[in-house]
Structure 1
Amino acid sequence: MCGIVGGVAERSITNILIEGLKRLEYRGYDSAGLALVSEGQLLRERRVGKVINLDTAVEQSDIHGSLGIAHTRWATHGKPTENNAHPHVSGKIAVVHNGIIENYQVLKQKLQDLGYVFSSETDTEVVAHLIADALKENNNLFAAVEKIVPQLEGAYALGIVHTDYPDELIVVREGSPLVIGVGIGENFISSDQLALLPVTNRFIYLEEGDMARLTRDSIEIFAHGQAIERPVKELDATVSHASKGEYKHFMLKEIYEQPEAIQQTLSQALNGNTLRDDFLKDAEADFSQIKQVQIIACGTSYHAGMIAKYWFEQLIGLPCQVEIASEYRYRSPVIVADTLYVCVSQSGETADTLAALRDTQKRAAANNINIATLTICNVATSSMVRETNHHLLTLAGPEIGVASTKAFTTQLTAFMLLVLKVGQTKQQISAAQLGEIAATLWHLPSVILKTLQFNNAILNLSELFVEKNHCLFLGRGTQFPIALEGALKLKEISYIHAEGYAAGELKHGPLALVDNEMPVVILAPMDDMLDKLKSNMEEVQARGGELFVFADENSEINSKDRQHVVQIPTISTWLAPIVYSIPVQLLSYHVAVLRGTDVDQPRNLAKSVTVE
């Protein structure tokens, strides 16, 4: 959510800023703006809606400058209006901001008492006025920013320019990601390196509390007032290229990329039907000591963790707990020695998960409790990867659609690899069983390809959902989290109210909702729970419910009146949740398209949730 782009160069950077914002559209936003410093003037354009609206306005005003900042805003304080869009200005200063200034009301009142007039409802505008006030005592932009930062409470990434300092771009990172793009005779900033790939593939990743001063020819970074060096890392630009190609939406493209993404994720860990010797080798000492696992995640990643709980406990007999990060971080959980804390996040910057990690590490250190931490993540340079003892990457490539697809299935793949590695290290899984699961993992991409061939059949089913307002998803065992995930997908992008339930809970409440207007989606792999699931299906039909069943091809579940069946290729029980993710993704996608919603950027949502 929200996106920052900025730069200082010899050339005009107007088009670079606009292109950068377009590359950040996947993050979710409701307005966009930019500010340029040109010949002692501050030139600003802001527009509500898509970046194309801003692009048109900039083209018409024909503004240019070699120093500037730009922003896409996802509303937190104040409605999506032009006045609330970034950059925010105080005199000669312009500021862009990701995150939330939690104490902005107190700061705003103090500034108003000093005579400052606010033109927006945002928390960000206080930053611009604070800097302006600090500059009255110190004619140094960096020093003024340095002075006001301790007054800010919350999470923020800031980009700041001033007309009297036409060769300086000041940045601050505290709780919200920010990278520096290193060029030749020019330097840039962004909340995601993806935005800067047209101009550089060399990046510096700022750490918590870092401040930096960028000019055309220099980058100075400070931590706690001391000058420091941060490494420059090169990124393979081809890996991070994001284009819809022949697909109508990023989401559909990313659904079809899942076989390759899973293959890539597997290749880092498997050598034939065994684990590679170098796979998580540096974690073996920690794995040998752990007595339980605690998974912390949000949204779709939380659902992946729910499935991993079954695997940890049933496959290798290791106790495992899963918790929503936003709940975990605020309930003062007991830190248990010899626990592996696994944080799961597509971006590696999810605010609640990152805060939960940091709090756990801090409390464990304060009480001298031995724990190990590991991140499962899609971004190698993310905060979580840098701040945990170990990491396991999901090699999914960029995921642009807000509704996660390939990130989810690669998280599940990574979790299974992690379970196998921990089980092997602790000698809790036999070589024969490990080899059997590894062989099935290699077979997984081809099973998903076969499942994708049912796209047209799922499209036909989706037509029956277009006029519906509610839906139930039912599953048992590891399919229960897939039912939750299917309901989440349908809610996110089609705006149909949907709920996922453990099918055994049907008689404990949800059955009251079932009537002839309630579609019920059933996930029915070949497992020990199939007969019980068939009984649940009978209960739904007896109340007039219409069934939409994704069933194993050998399940003997067939289509009949008000029971629509798509037969899914047979797969091992262990890996069935990965395969059954595919049809619920396709169903949600097609329903959303038929209902005419914005599939890739659904209302009110953002891809990377970097604020609470």
Structure 2
Amino acid sequence: MNHSSTLMWSEAHDAGQVVRRQFQANKVLMRSLGARLRANRPRLVLTCARGSSDHAAGFGKYAIETRLGVLVASHAPSTSSIFGKPLSDLDGALFLVISQSGKSPDILTSIAFAKEAGAFVVAMVNDAESPAAKAADVFVPLHAGPELAVAATKSYIASLSAIVHLVAEWSEDQELLSALEQAGDHISDAFARDWSKLGDALLDAKSLFVIGRGLTFGIAHEMALKLKETSALHAEAFSAAEVRHGPMAIVGAGFPVIMISPMDEAAASFPALSEEFSARQARVFASGGPLPGAIELPTLSGLHPLVAPLCQVSSFYACAEALARARGRNPDAPPWLNKVTETQ
């Protein structure tokens, strides 16, 4: 099996094209949605998602809070589906659903409760015929096309770009809209970047940390998930602000650490943290700029801070696919996993 024969490689490779297609197809929809949100001025955004989609929601939290100053919180779908607890007092709130399939029962129950509580429901979903897409007040199609590999790649990046598009239109940020218009090309470029040094270092690894902060915190969680999913490699994601509190105790000589530095003010804490990892003789790999004691992963520079994370995860997907094969695994069909997980 070579990389070009795996669905994961092919689908991740297509992410740049997906983002280009999505941006053009959703222009009118997003402009209208942005105007509606400016007029209604939501006092709160509640995100509702699972798995990779929830990692996209984590990115959305920082994108919305830093660009629009609106509080974002995560709704736990099980409070609706398992505990049956209705939501209340959501008049004026935006309930943002992110899902690949739009079929999970807990997500659907949460949508129903949110609408009953007065929320405005926007669903970013890849399947236009899904129940979630039809139940939402506004459906934002991801335009990722069929995704057959169990590990989500292009649909995750499509979720990120849809969030960026929403933020750009809501805030009327022309600079961000211009950056997003070029994002597809940058994502394709990033996919071709050589992160093989990281893959080589993880070939026999058993555990590692992935560090992010702010806009890259959700990206770090997604990377950790993909390493578990495709390579059966235990990976934990931490914020650069929190990893010193206890997790640092297990870092020793040779312990792998991936640092995904954001391209904004949150990057300031990364150099000192990299020095601390290096002092413990950890094997540190850095994306987003050179860091003390770290092996630099080739990363596009000069990008808009909200677009850069999409490129960083694109480069990572190419690396993760190759690593899974090198570890003797099929990245398209991890054991015991299904493409759609319908949780209650």
TM-score (norm: length of structure 1): 0.53
Higher relative contact order (CA 8 A, sep 6+): 2
Is 1:265 aligned to 2:22, yes or no? Answer: yes
What residue number does 2:309 align with? 577
What residue number does 2:336 align with? 604
Is 1:339 aligned to 2:93, yes or no? Answer: yes
Q: Secondary structure at the match of 1:401?
A: coil
Is 1:547 aligned to 2:284, yes or no? Answer: yes
Amino acid at match of 1:393: P
Larger Rg over CA atoms: 1
Give the drift of 1:451. 1.3
Amino acid at match of 2:295: H
Change (3 A) 1:390 1:607: same
Change (3 A) 1:327 1:543: farther
Give the drift of 1:460. 3.9
Is 1:319 aligned to 2:71, yes or no? Answer: yes
Give the drift of 1:330. 4.3
Q: Secondary structure at the match of 2:195?
A: helix
Task: Quote the Cα distance in structure 1 between the aligned partners of 2:168 and 2:82.
Answer: 32
Give the drift of 1:539. 0.9
What residue number does 2:234 align with? 497
Q: Is the strand fraction higher in 1 or 2?
A: 1
Change (3 A) 1:254 1:545: same
Report if aligned partners of 1:301, 1:411 keep a CA contact under 8 Å in 2: yes
Report if aligned partners of 1:286, 1:372 keep a CA contact under 8 Å in 2: no
Q: Secondary structure at the match of 1:529?
A: helix
Task: Quote the Cα distance in structure 2 between the aligned partners of 1:597 and 1:497.
Answer: 15
Stretches (4+) displaced over 4 A: 282-287, 327-331
What residue number does 1:117 align with? none
**1:454-473 mapped onto 2 (5 Å cutoff):** 454=193, 457-473=194-210
**1:487-526 mapped onto 2 (5 Å cutoff):** 487-526=224-263
**Number of residue pairs matched by the alignment:** 340
Q: Secondary structure at the match of 2:265?
A: coil
Consecutive unaligned residues of structure 1, counting only runs of 5 or more, are 1-243, 271-275, 424-428
Give the drift of 1:370. 2.7
Report if aligned partners of 1:329, 1:359 keep a CA contact under 8 Å in 2: no
What residue number does 2:137 align with? 389
Task: Quote the Cα distance in structure 1 between the aligned partners of 2:310 and 2:198.
Answer: 21
Give the drift of 1:328. 5.7
Give the drift of 1:578. 1.2
Amino acid at match of 1:463: D
Q: Secondary structure at the match of 1:522?
A: strand
Q: Deviations over 1:266-298 (max 9, x none)?
A: 00234xxxxx4x546378557632322111000
Change (3 A) 1:286 1:577: closer
Report if aligned partners of 2:321, 2:331 keep a CA contact under 8 Å in 1: yes
Aligned-pair identity (%)? 24
What residue number does 1:443 align with? 182
**1:192-211 mapped onto 2 (5 Å cutoff):** none
Give the drift of 1:325. 2.5
Give the drift of 1:564. 2.1
Q: Is the helix fraction higher in 1 or 2?
A: 2
Report if aligned partners of 1:343, 1:375 keep a CA contact under 8 Å in 2: yes
Give the drift of 1:382. 0.7
CA-based RMSD? 2.3
Change (3 A) 1:324 1:604: farther
Change (3 A) 1:528 1:347: same
Give the drift of 1:356. 1.7
Consecutive unaligned residues of structure 2, counting only runs of 5 or more, are none
Change (3 A) 1:262 1:461: same
Report if aligned partners of 1:268, 1:279 keep a CA contact under 8 Å in 2: no
Q: Secondary structure at the match of 2:57?
A: helix
Task: Quote the Cα distance in structure 2 between the aligned partners of 1:286 and 1:441.
Answer: 20
Change (3 A) 1:286 1:546: closer
Report if aligned partners of 2:290, 2:296 keep a CA contact under 8 Å in 1: no
Task: Quote the Cα distance in structure 2 between the aligned partners of 1:246 and 1:466.
Answer: 16
Q: Secondary structure at the match of 2:128?
A: coil
Amino acid at match of 2:111: L
Report if aligned partners of 2:81, 2:105 keep a CA contact under 8 Å in 1: no
What residue number does 2:218 align with? 481
Q: Secondary structure at the match of 1:464?
A: helix
